[in-house]
Amino acid sequence: MEYDFIIMGSGFGGSVSALRLVRKGYKVLVVEQGRRFTEDDFPKRNWNLRKWLWVPGLGFHGFFRISLFRHITVLSGTGVGGGSLVYANTLPVPKTDFFTSGSWKDLNDWEKELVPYYRMAQEMLGVARNPKLGPGDEALSKLADSIGKKEHFSATDVAVFFGEPKVTVADPYFNGQGPDREGCRFCGGCMVGCRYNAKNTLDKNYLYLAEKEGAVVMDRSRIDSVIPLGDHGNQGYEVIISSKGEYRKIRLKTKSFIFSGGVLGTVPLLIKLKGTTMPDLSEMTGAHVRTNSEALIGVVSNDRTKKFSEGIAIGSIVNTDKFSHLEPVRYPSGSGFWRLLMAPMVSGKTLGGRIVAILADYIRHPRSNAKALFTGNWADRTQILLFMQARDSTLNLKHGFFGLKTGVERGSAPSAFIPEAQDLARKYARIINGKPLVLPTESLFGIPTTAHILGGACMGENKETGVIDSDHKVFGYKNLFVIDGSAISANPGVNPSLTITALAERATARIPDAKIPG
């Protein structure tokens, strides 16, 4: 069987591409390694590891993936709908610095160019202003006031349907062509999978409509290789797929191929192909990987009069300076898995010094540490703080002896010890009478955690400066594209999903309509 386009991945890049291309008259196949989920498939709490985590080797086929590297821990999503299944719905537009920095800065007036595509993305994703602030958001407002940033605090713009809770209504977004929906219950469950049909995941908009209009989605399948046919793909590509339940490899032909597997899907495959079937890929493959300079800090409160799990996953935001902002993140009541992976927030230049600091914290504050660890309902008592910066440093990805590995490319390595983030966390902790905690990979090894890994197949003027051109076409090959977070070519400093969606809208708009025979 031959397709016009085979798309690897069903996240923000792949789902947009599927809908726009099928509407242009193309025959489209989407290949997704994760499975398809319904509301009943999502766990009630993140203690249900088999439903929540993606660890196929252990028989866990959930949608939340944790990837450990030397310089970064990455949180990402797997399943039909990609990262939209697990992300926190937050859809901000980056500030001007994003559009005027990085390897793409001279290729276009991006801030002006992307305006109509941001609007299209916002409309398709059903962006709305969060109408209800929870206790964690109110505490952030107090923090903003205390640091002189009251005017920079606001509710978030999110992809959530704020209709009547527990009331099912006909599709409110696409003139009845989309699925029925139910209003948000503000349960805090966005990141463990919305069980109430209120979160605007991609399987309810772009991908839903794409399938309805003829696109085919092959789930639980992995693309092993892409082989150019003819001169550098001018006669298309042979795609080799491993599919669950099949006892042999599936071989399909396509005229065009789109990498949309996210950084941890697209970039490793590109690196593999450069060493096998596509030797003329750019030497920049795997370069310019960014982390949004993030810090994730959990603050466990002793105030039992407030329930920090109430609200949407991220309900508010404050811009703390020109480069940085802070968001409170929540999990639903009963979701206390992360308590097993928490340690006191410390800093220090050496491992030995940090070990001493952690032990000293346990000795000096045994009561607060015990309360933080053994608090009755961790999600109700805990507010996670997400700190992001637009300051730039880059990593590279390459194959090592034990698989994919990271290396420092430019600037200093990403660090878990961001002074501004720790200072804000301590101030927030005083407001809610709490204790800041972080993952032990951060306290011990200084390895930060990010939910927004970007780059690795960035734009450039030519193959010496980038992997793709400004239209997302891969240098050196015909009818080959990268349309996902790998193509992000500067540090947005904010949640990037809306930007990935807008870039995908623009990239597919520049692909001509299919030629109809006859």
- DSSP conformation class of 156: P
- In a 13 Å sphere around the CA of 308, the CA atoms on its Cβ side amount to 30
Taking the C-alpha atoms of residue 63 and residue 43, their distance in angstroms, rounded to an integer, is 10
Rounded-to-integer distance, Cα 33 and Cα 76, Å: 13
Hey, CA dihedral for 238, 243, 245, 249, is it positive or negative? positive
Angstrom distance (rounded) from CA 63 to CA 191 = 10
**Location of structure tokens 């062509």:** 177
Active site residue 61: no
Contact between 134 and 186 (Cβ < 8 Å): yes
The phi and psi torsions of 243 (rounded to 5 degrees) equal -120, 135
d(CA 488, CA 105): 11
Torsion angle, alpha carbons of 240, 243, 249, 254, to 10: -30
What are the structure tokens assigned to 124, written together?
Answer: 């398709």
The torsion defined by the Cα of 88, 89, 94 and 98, in degrees rounded to 10, comes to 60
Strand 73-77 and strand 60-61: pairing?
Answer: unpaired
List, as own/partner pairs, every contact residues 97-100 make where C-beta atoms lie below 8 angstroms and the sequence separation is at least 24, other chains included: 97/323, 97/390, 97/493, 98/390, 98/490, 98/491, 98/492, 98/493, 98/499, 99/490
- Cα 255 to Cα 236: distance, rounded to the nearest angstrom: 4
From 61, 71, 288, 452, the catalytic residue:
452
The bridge status of strand 343-344 relative to strand 434-438 is: antiparallel
Write out the E strands in 237-355.
Answer: 237-243, 250-259, 295-301, 316-319, 324-329, 343-344
Output DSSP code: residue 245: T
The helix-helix angle for 497-509 and 115-125 (nearest 10°) equals 110
Beta bridge partners of 29: 6, 216
Residue 403 gets the label, from left (phi > 0), alpha (psi -120 to 50) or beta, of: left
Catalytic sites, residue numbers: 452
